[in-house]
């Protein structure tokens, strides 16, 4: 399945409580659209985040983000370096 990268930026440092709330809203949407979260990275200042998902297509990941009210700037398909 393709890997999809989602880029996010925040005006103020994103808190753990905000992240927990987004994750709770996103959980049912992931199942609904058959999307699997792989990992996320926060910048040290918590103003930027990169999230990696596995999904059939970008549209599925975008639908999850929209339905969970998870703001993002970009979503794009990626190839993992070093994987066949």
Report pLDDT digits (tens) over 55-66: 999 999 999 999
Q: Enumerate residue ranges in the chain where pLDDT < 50.
A: none
Measured over the CA atoms of residue 56, residue 40, residue 47 and residue 69, the dihedral's sign is positive
Report pLDDT digits (tens) over 27-36: 999 999 999 9
The two three-digit tokens of residue 8, written as one number: 């996010």
Q: Report how far residue 84's alpha carbon sits from residue 82's, in angstroms, rounded to the nearest whole number.
A: 7
pTM value is 0.90
What pLDDT is stored for residue 33 in this prediction? 97
Neighbours of 58 (CB within 10 A): 16
Q: Report how far residue 20's alpha carbon sits from residue 28's, in angstroms, rounded to the nearest whole number.
A: 14
């Amino acid at each position: 399945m393709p890997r999809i990268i989602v880029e996010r930026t925040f005006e103020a440092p994103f808190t753990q409580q905000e992240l927990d709330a987004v994750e709770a809203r996103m959980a049912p949407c992931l199942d609904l659209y058959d999307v699997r979260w792989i990992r996320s990275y926060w910048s040290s200042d918590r103003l930027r985040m990169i999230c990696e998902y596995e999904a059939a297509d970008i549209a599925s990941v975008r639908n999850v983000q929209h339905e969970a009210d998870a703001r993002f700037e970009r979503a794009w398909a990626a190839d993992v370096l070093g994987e066949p």
